[in-house]
Each structure stands twice: as structure tokens, then as C-alpha cells.
Amino acid sequence: MSVGVWPQDVGIIAMEVYFPSQYVDQSELETFDGASAGKYTVGLGQARMGFCTDREDINSLCLTVVQRLVERNGLSYEEIGRLEVGTETIIDKSKSVKTVLMQLFDKSGNTNVEGVDTTNACYGGTAALFNAINWIESSSWDGRLAIVVAADIAVYATGSARPTGGAGAIAMLIGPNAALVIERGIRGTHMQHAYDFYKPDMLSEYPTVDGKLSIECYLNALDKCYSIFRKKADDKLCPVKNGHRFTLNSADAFLFHSPYCKLVQKSLARLLLNDFLSNPDKYPDLAAFKDVQLTNTYFDRDVEVAFMAASKAIFESKTLPYLWLANQVGNMYTPSLYGGLASFVARHTLTEIKEKRAVLFSYGSGLASSMFAFRASDRVDSVLSRLVDSCADLAQRLDSRQKVSPADFASAMKLREETHHLAPYIPSGSVDCLFPGTWYLVQVDDKHRRKYECVPLASN
């Protein structure tokens, strides 16, 4: 690369998605919990929830997804110069998940790999992604590729929050000449101190949650990020001098961090509310709301109903198709947003995805949030086909999972609760149900050192 020249088209080259091989049906969970019919499936918008037994932890999820990304893309570990993990599933207060992943690099002899873990609720994966992209666009870059891993196991105590759990890991291969190119210079970020969701008890996997405050923080952060994002996008994507401003009509997809799918639908409606308040004359049917203040509308039912109705067609075309993984796997926390991006890729053919633009909103409680955009390359088919192929088997893998009864699911959650951070410990969960190529926990010794093995791949 010539001095002073930016690497071209930096972004995501390929993706790998991992979700647990077992799930619980949300309608069956409604019955088991004694909840009203539709509370989880309609009220939250969730169909299935993936979960991990005591055989899987954050290290095993990340080992699995990184190895699959490397092997399925025909990479060598020598090609990787940066590896970052974004997660809030902490099993050690000092040792990063990234250091555990370095055992995958042992045979290659490559120990010259930058990056460690980033933690802030569901925002860690986004921070890791930005770090990797910034590394490639900096004087520190040595010409190699980066891998970003977003992974979490989201579990809640018995009660109303439990159906908003989930688990998964997504690994992204980052480099120049990418298939999904980040829109440079167009980020809106909002950071604020809040106790909306946090995990102060180091002996428990369960969070402390203020549900109402969390929704208010999420929607306020969305407003703030969209305002900053639009100002930058106006200049770079839709110059005002041409009479255009960035609106919901300016992108092909809007993807959100997805605690549950119904909140995403409300969030898309919230963006329309922002567009409306910026130019009420363009939306005469909503004129009755022209004097509302954003900060007074977080729980305004009239505003919510009106703007969800007005944005219904946009939601169904630009957001709903990409809630596929969120609906089928649940809230994966940090990888949740990138499950939406993987769904966006998987739901398009090679021809359809070219030059499509997706806007992403990342939110992590506490709080940290950003809005940014990717556009699909229009360079050559081989660049895009690598990305599309990397997400092509998602439907088959979702369908191959094993459904578990709510009673067995509850037992698995109880076992995780009772054995969390226990040492020494030998997991009792079955290995037979795991997908081939899945890493799993073998034991925790009396010094809390964890040992893992991998389910063999099926022979051809």
C-alpha cells in the first residue's frame, strides 16, 4: 500500500454464525409458564429461543465460530493480524476470551495477533468492529486481516424476562476490498451513564434490570444517534444542495439491536417520528403530532400506534425480513445486531444484494450506542459471493436444531444457575446433541482452569 493512501473498501469480507443446537418453543414456554397465549410470540415477537447447557460457555462458543470462519473460508491463521472479542458473558475478571482463542493459532506459530476483549453490555461487538476497522485504516496496519467476534449467552432468572434470552456467536472477517463496505465518516454515537441493565453480582449470570428505564434509554439513544447520523449522511450520502436529506427512504435496510422483535418494530416507527418532526409537511396524515416533543413520547401510546401504522410497509420491507435470526434464536446480546446483518445477507441473492445499503443501530445498556451503515460492494461477483456463501446454510442449520421441552429447558437453566463458577466441576450435559465441529467444556479443575474438546466433523 502506498503511503498516505487509504485501504479501499474496508469492511466485512465474510461472516460465520453459531447458535446452539437446542431451542425451546416460545408458545410452549407460554403454556409452561402460565402466561397468556401470545404473550411471548405476539407481545414480544419471538418464536424460538436457543439455549446452552452446562457443556457450553463463552469460550467454547467463540472457539467454535472462529474455527469455522477460518476453515470455511480457506484461511490460514498466519493471515490474521488482529482478533477482538466483544462480549458481556464474563467468566474471568482478568483473562480475556481472546487469549483462549489463541490456542487455535498454536500450530501456525502466529502469536503476533493484536486485540483483546471489549465489554459493555450488548455494545462490545460494535466497539470491537470499530477497533478492527480503525486498525486497518491506520498506520498500525501490517496488511493482514482482522477477525471480530461478537458472542454471548443471555440468561434470565425465572420470570417475565426469561423468554427474552438466547445465545450465539458471530465472527466477521474484516479487511480491504470487502463485500460489505463501511460508510466512512458516517457514525452517530451516544454515550451516557445509566443503571438500566447491569450485572453487579459476579457470582450470578443474571442481570439486574429496570425494564421501563431500559426501554427509555434505548429509544433516547436511538433518537440521539439518528440525529447525528443523519447530519453526516446528509452531507455524504444525500447532499442538501441537491434537495435531499437522509430519511427512511434513503437506505434499503434498517437493522437494530434486538432484545425482542416487538421493540425493533417500535424502533423503526421511532425513526419515522424523527423524520416527521424534521419535516412535518411531508407527512400530512400525521399532522396532529407536529407539536410533540421526542422526550415526552417514549411511552405515549397514541404516538406509538400512529407511527407504527404509518411505518408498517417500511418495517415489513426494510426490517422484518432481517429479524429472522432474532425471532428464531432469541436475544444473543452482543451478536444480536449482527444476527440481523447475517439475515440481511442470507435473505438476498448475489444479484439482489449489490449496492444495497443497510443502516445499523447498536445499543448496550449502561449505556453505549452507535448508528452506522454498510453498503454492499458493486465491484465483482467473487467479492460478494464469498459473503453470500458464508450465510447460505443458515436456514438448513436452524431447521436441524433439536426442540427441547420447556421442562427440560428449565432444568438446564437451573443446572447452569447452581453450577455457575463452580470448581472443580465436570459438566453433565449431553455432547451428542451438539453440531459437528462444536467446541464444548470438558472440565473445570480446582484452579478454575477450563479444558475444551471439539465434536468431530462428520466424515464424508
- Report, as residue numbers or ranges, the catalytic residues: 88, 122, 257
- Residue 114 is given by DSSP the state B
For residues 164 and 81, is the Cβ–Cβ distance under 8 A? no
What is the reported pLDDT for 236?
Answer: 77
Spatial CB neighbours of 299, under 8 Å, sequence gap ≥ 6: 212, 215, 216
- At 236, which amino acid appears? K
- Residue 6 is given by DSSP the state P
Class of the CATH domain delimited by 11-454 = alpha beta
Report the C-alpha gap between 114 and 203 in whole angstroms.
30
What is the reported pLDDT for 379?
Answer: 74
What is the reported pLDDT for 381?
Answer: 78
Query: Along the chain (460 residues), what's the average pLDDT of each consecutive run of 10 residues?
Result: 72 98 98 96 97 97 98 97 97 97 98 98 98 96 97 95 96 97 96 97 92 97 97 77 78 97 97 96 96 96 98 98 98 98 96 94 98 90 90 96 97 95 95 97 98 84
Place of cell 465460530: 65
CA quadruple 206, 62, 114, 337: dihedral sign: negative
Omega before residue 424 within 30° of 0, cis: yes
Q: Where are the alpha helices (DSSP H) in 183-283?
A: 211-236, 261-278
What is the reported pLDDT for 286?
Answer: 97
Give the Å distances, CA to CA, from 93 to 82, 117, 129, 196, 440: 22, 11, 22, 22, 21
What is the reported pLDDT for 304?
Answer: 97
What is the reported pLDDT for 1?
Answer: 43
Length of the chain: 460
Report the C-alpha gap between 35 and 262 in whole angstroms.
17
Give the Å distances, CA to CA, from 154 to 52, 67, 87, 116, 157: 9, 22, 11, 21, 11
Q: Which residues of 128-161 are buried (b: 16+ CB within 10 A; e: fewer)?
A: bbbbbbebbeeeebeebbbbbbbbbbbbbeeeeb
The pTM for the full model equals 0.96
- At 263, which amino acid appears? L
Report the C-alpha gap between 348 and 208 in whole angstroms.
38
Output the nine-digit C-alpha cell for 386: 464469498
Place of cell 407504527: 308
What is the reported pLDDT for 172?
Answer: 98
Place of cell 431447521: 399
* Domain assignments of the chain as residue spans, ordered by start: 11-454
Spatial CB neighbours of 177, under 8 Å, sequence gap ≥ 6: 8, 9, 13, 379, 383
Report the C-alpha gap between 319 and 331 in whole angstroms.
16
What is the reported pLDDT for 243?
Answer: 55
Spatial CB neighbours of 302, under 8 Å, sequence gap ≥ 6: none
What is the reported pLDDT for 234?
Answer: 87
Q: Where are the alpha helices (DSSP H) in 73-123?
A: 97-101
Task: Output the CA torsion 307→312→317→323 (10° steps).
Answer: 80
